[in-house]
C-alpha cells in the first residue's frame, strides 16, 4: 500500500534558514520528494499549536517545522519556542488517535541545502511507513487549511528555485500567493 501512497506533508519553514536552504537545494539540483508543501514563516517562533493541529485536522499526513540551528535564531529563541510547541502537539496527538510521529521539529542553516533535502526525504519515509492520516477527506486541502490557520503570520510564497515548490493551485484561494507581506 505504501507504494502508491503519496503523502502530503506541510512544512513550516523559517525564511532565514530552511526556506533559503530549500532554494539552495533547488539550485544544487538535489533530489527530494515532491510531497512537501512549504509555508514560509518569518521565524518558527511564530508557529502556534493550532497551526499544526489545523494542518493535521485537514488531513495532512505529516507536518514539520524547520527552523534555524539552535543558538542561531534571528530572533534568539524562536526556534526553541517552536520545538516546545511541536512537543506539546506530540503529547496531544495520541489523545485524538494520531501518531505523535506525524509532527516534528528540525533545525538547519540557510547553507544546508543537502540537509534540507535529507530531512524532506527522511520525514517522507517516516510518514510513508505510518500510512495516510485517517482524517484525510476528499476535497479538503491540508495546505490550504494550514495556510489559512497561519494567515496572520505566514509570508507569501515564492517558489524556491527549481524544486518541489507549491504544486498547482488546485485548491482554496488562501493558497494563492499575495503580493503583500504578512498581515502584521
Partner 1 sequence: MITAERKPFDEILELVDGHNKILVAGCDTCVAICLTGGEKEAEILASELRMKAQADGREVEVEHTAAIRQCEWEYLDMIAAKVDEADVVLSMACGIGIQSMAEKFAPKLVVPAVNTNMLGMPQEHAVWLERCGACGECVIGETAGICPVVRCSKSLMNGPCGGSHDGKCEVTTPEKEDIDCAWHLIWERLKAQGREELMHKIRPPKDWSKSSSGGPRKMVKEEAKPV
Could you list the residues that contact partner 1 (CB under 8 A)?
Answer: 48-50, 53-54, 56-57, 92, 95-98, 134-135, 137
Smallest distance from partner 1 to CB 146, Å: 12
Report the nearest approach of partner 1 to the CB of residue 148 (Å). Answer: 13
- Give DSSP secondary structure letters for 21-80: HHHHHHHTT----TTEEEEEES-GGG--HHHHHHHHHTT-SEEEEEEPPTT-BTTBSHHH
Using the minimum distance from each CB to partner 1, give the nearer residue, 57 or 157: 57
C-alpha 50/C-alpha 72 separation (Å) is: 25
Q: Least distance to partner 1 from the beta carbon of 132, Å?
A: 12
Best CA proximity match to 33, nearest among 25, 41, 21? 25
Kindly state the smallest distance separating residue 49's Cβ from partner 1, in Å.
5
Nearest residue (CB) to partner 1, 50 versus 167: 50
Closer of 138 and 180 to partner 1 (Cβ): 138
Q: How far is the CB of 133 from partner 1 (least distance, A)?
A: 9
Instruction: State which residue, 92 or 172, has the beta carbon closest to partner 1.
Output: 92
Residues contacting 104, CB < 8 A, separation 6+: 62, 63, 64, 65, 86, 123, 126
What are the phi and psi torsion angles at 93 (to 5°)? -60, -45
Cβ distance to partner 1 smaller for residue 134 or 168: 134
Beta strands 9-14; 103-107: pairing state: unpaired
Rounded Cα distance between 102 and 177, Å, is 26
Amino acid at each position: 500500500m505504501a507504494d502508491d501512497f503519496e503523502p502530503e506533508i506541510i512544512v513550516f519553514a523559517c525564511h532565514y534558514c530552511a526556506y533559503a536552504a530549500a532554494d539552495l537545494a533547488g539550485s544544487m539540483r538535489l533530489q527530494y520528494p515532491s510531497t512537501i508543501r512549504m509555508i514560509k514563516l518569518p521565524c518558527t517562533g511564530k508557529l502556534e499549536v493550532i497551526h499544526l493541529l489545523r494542518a493535521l485536522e485537514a488531513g495532512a499526513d505529516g507536518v514539520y517545522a524547520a527552523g534555524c540551528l539552535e543558538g542561531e535564531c534571528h530572533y534568539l529563541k524562536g526556534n526553541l519556542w517552536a520545538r516546545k510547541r511541536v512537543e506539546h502537539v506530540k503529547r496531544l496527538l495520541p489523545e485524538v488517535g494520531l501518531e505523535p510521529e506525524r509532527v516534528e521539529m528540525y533545525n538547519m542553516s540557510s547553507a544546508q541545502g543537502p540537509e534540507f533535502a535529507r530531512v524532506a526525504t527522511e520525514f517522507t519515509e517516516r510518514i510513508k511507513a505510518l500510512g495516510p492520516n485517517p482524517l484525510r477527506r476528499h476535497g479538503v486541502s491540508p495546505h490550504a487549511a494550514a495556510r489559512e490557520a497561519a494567515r496572520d503570520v505566514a509570508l507569501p510564497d515564492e517558489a524556491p528555485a527549481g524544486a518541489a515548490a507549491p504544486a498547482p493551485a488546485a485548491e482554496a484561494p488562501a493558497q494563492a500567493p499575495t503580493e503583500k507581506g504578512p498581515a502584521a
